[in-house]
Structure 1
Amino acid sequence: MRLAPLGCPCCAAPAPGRRSLLRGAAGLLCAAIGGGAALAQVTAGAPRSLRIHRMQTEENFSGVYWQDGRYDREALKQLDWLFRDPAREEATPMDPRLFDVMHSVALQLDASEGFQVISGYRSPETNAARARESRRVSRASLHMSGMAADVRLPGRDSFGLARLAAEMQIGGVGLYRRDGFVHLDCGPARRW
């Protein structure tokens, strides 16, 4: 099979193999993260960990969620429950790429403190109720897909956190300065 660049069928190239795709993905990740400790740790396959405090439930997670080239299923189950919709006591499988975004941001900031999670998964009912209360809540929020979290890092300025995350271009970043938190997601790179 041959792949052609958009608009240029005459310049078709052979489909890349799996290894070249992986190398290319690692290269894109390198460019997105921008070097430093985060790049070295994520691309070298070092364990990935998070420290989380869930504000509404006072629950915590501190541990490794990815090691030896794969996600730790038990850690992901714990994180799924921690990121649940507390209004409905409903959990969903969170997209582990969200945890990678949070891990990468914490590495870039050299943050020893854990994230405070204000909002993780939102059921469609909870999201609809919030959207009726505030125009700032998207009716198509990635929170409903388990791909977003509203967070803060104690002792860190929300503007600085949002700016760094946006510069990394590894997902969506929203600054809610008045409320003192930052929206992070593993969707397309964008900011608001």
Structure 2
Amino acid sequence: MRLFQHSCPACEGADDSLACAGRRGALGAMLGLGFAAMAPEAIAQRLGNGATRSIAISRAQTGESFDGVYWRDGRYDREALQKLDWVLRDPRMTEATPMDPRLFDVLNTVRSRLESTESWEVISGYRAPETNAVRARASRRVSRASLHMSGMACDCRLPGRNSLGIARLAADLQTGGVGLYRRDGFVHLDCGPSRRW
């Protein structure tokens, strides 16, 4: 089981997996670089430089979870981030990508402001371009340039909290994008530019 597994035809049989970035790497880099320049400073301001930041996440499709510290002593914990990357992988492709740690800051901030101790239930984290394309063909609500493909977004819910209340709070915090999917009972949260739908 590899953390960064892909099925890029150009990379198959290559001796060095780093020699070929593949389509996903290039797409993720373009999206990530484009939005990194517009990173919301509001996240850092609201979190401060506390000694630790923790998060609790469970994945709906796999039942896997993470509950622990992902930031300590002024820096992100690499081992914790790798575990979170795997929990938020694309289960359809069994593929993970490095998630943007600012996404965990958004989730941490929203959960903290809601004074919740529940785990975020994640419906969709990272999406491989193939998975995103399948979803975009099936629904107009799925963006073809989704931040899910660059590890900057997740669709989630908090048990015992309604999606409208979560979306309103997250939008007020202006820490990134907020999408309300009231009928489905979840919200989209990301660490891209502040916007709502």
Give me the TM-score of the superposition, normalised by structure 2.
0.78
Give the SS at the match of 1:160: helix
Q: How many angstroms apart in 2 are the aligned matches of 1:160 and 1:70?
A: 31
Give the SS at the match of 2:140: coil
Partner residue in 2 for 1:29? 42
Alignment of 1:23-172 (within 5 A): 29=42, 39=46, 42-172=47-177
Kept in 1, the 8 Å contact 2:177–2:195? The answer is yes
Q: How many angstroms apart in 2 are the aligned matches of 1:29 and 1:188?
A: 11
Q: How many angstroms apart in 2 are the aligned matches of 1:45 and 1:69?
A: 7
Question: How many pairs are equivalent?
Answer: 159
Counterpart amino acid of 1:91? A
Q: How many angstroms apart in 1 are the aligned matches of 2:141 and 2:98?
A: 25
Counterpart amino acid of 1:145? S
Displacement after TM superposition at 1:45 (Å): 2.0
Counterpart amino acid of 1:128? A
Partner residue in 2 for 1:17? none
Displacement after TM superposition at 1:44 (Å): 3.7
Higher helix proportion (structure 1 or 2): 1
Partner residue in 1 for 2:182? 177
User: Which structure carries more relative contact order (alpha carbon 8 Å, separation 6+)?
Assistant: 2
Aligned Cα root-mean-square deviation (Å): 1.8
Identity, % of aligned positions? 70
Displacement after TM superposition at 1:29 (Å): 2.9
Structure 2 residue 186 is the aligned partner of structure 1 residue 190: no
Counterpart amino acid of 2:81? L
- Flag the structure with larger Rg: 1
Q: How many angstroms apart in 2 are the aligned matches of 1:111 and 1:185?
A: 19
Counterpart amino acid of 2:42? L
Displacement after TM superposition at 1:106 (Å): 0.7
Superposed CA deviations along residues 66-112 of structure 1, whole A, max 9, x for unmatched, are 01000000000000000000000000000000000000101111111
**5+ residue gaps, structure 2:** 1-38
Q: Which runs of 4+ in 1 moved over 4 A?
A: none
Q: How many angstroms apart in 1 are the aligned matches of 2:170 and 2:42?
A: 14
